[in-house]
Amino acid sequence: MSSLVDFREVSTTGLESSPVAPALAGLRANEARYFKNKYDHDFTVRPADEAAATIEWVERILREERDLVIASRPLEATEFRVENIRWAYVFYESGLSVNVLYTLDDAGKRAVGFKLSDGMAVPAELASRFKFARQKSKLAGTIRGSFFVIKGEY
């Protein structure tokens, strides 16, 4: 069952097993606020066991594009379309958030983004491959992020 992410009253529901649950909840709320403000889209998430197809799509892109496998367990995921862009998010127990921006037009932008919750270490599988820029968020504290451009068709 999907649940609406509230960015006014940040909740750790669904993320309790994460060692950085409050920061991950803030990161999730930060994404919800972005989509509400930019696209008037309500950001909802589903438990990982109900979002297997979304998680597999994201993990397939990581494997095929960069030979990457995320070691942490997925907790929640979401997938939706706004303005002809397919978006997918997976929130991992470690505090990592992976998102895919996949424009459905042939010449559109396609990328994978990584965001690290405040207080978590850079996962070993990403540490030697990506540099992370910092940004401040009222909801999530300091977010470290990186990305890569998708070259294949998914």
Q: What is the pLDDT of residues 15-45, one digit of tens each?
A: 999 999 999 999 999 999 999 999 999 999 9
Task: Please tell me the predicted confidence (pLDDT) of residue 99.
Answer: 98
**Could you tell me what percentage of the chain is helix, strand and coil, using 3-state DSSP and rounding each to the nearest 5?**
25, 35, 40
Task: Please tell me the predicted confidence (pLDDT) of residue 13.
Answer: 96
Question: Three-state SS for 56?
Answer: helix
Task: Please tell me the predicted confidence (pLDDT) of residue 95.
Answer: 97
Longest CA span, the chain: 40
b/e code 134-149 from CB counts within 10 Å (16+ = b): eeebebbeebbbbebe
Cα(101)–Cα(116) distance, integer angstroms: 17
Task: Please tell me the predicted confidence (pLDDT) of residue 142.
Answer: 83
Task: Please tell me the predicted confidence (pLDDT) of residue 22.
Answer: 96
Q: Which residues in the chain come in under a pLDDT of 70?
A: none
Would the pTM count as exceeding 0.85? yes
99 in Cβ contact with 55 (< 8 Å): no
DSSP class of residue 63 equals H
In terms of phi and psi (left: phi > 0; alpha: psi -120 to 50; beta: otherwise), the region of 12 is: alpha
Cα(63)–Cα(123) distance, integer angstroms: 16
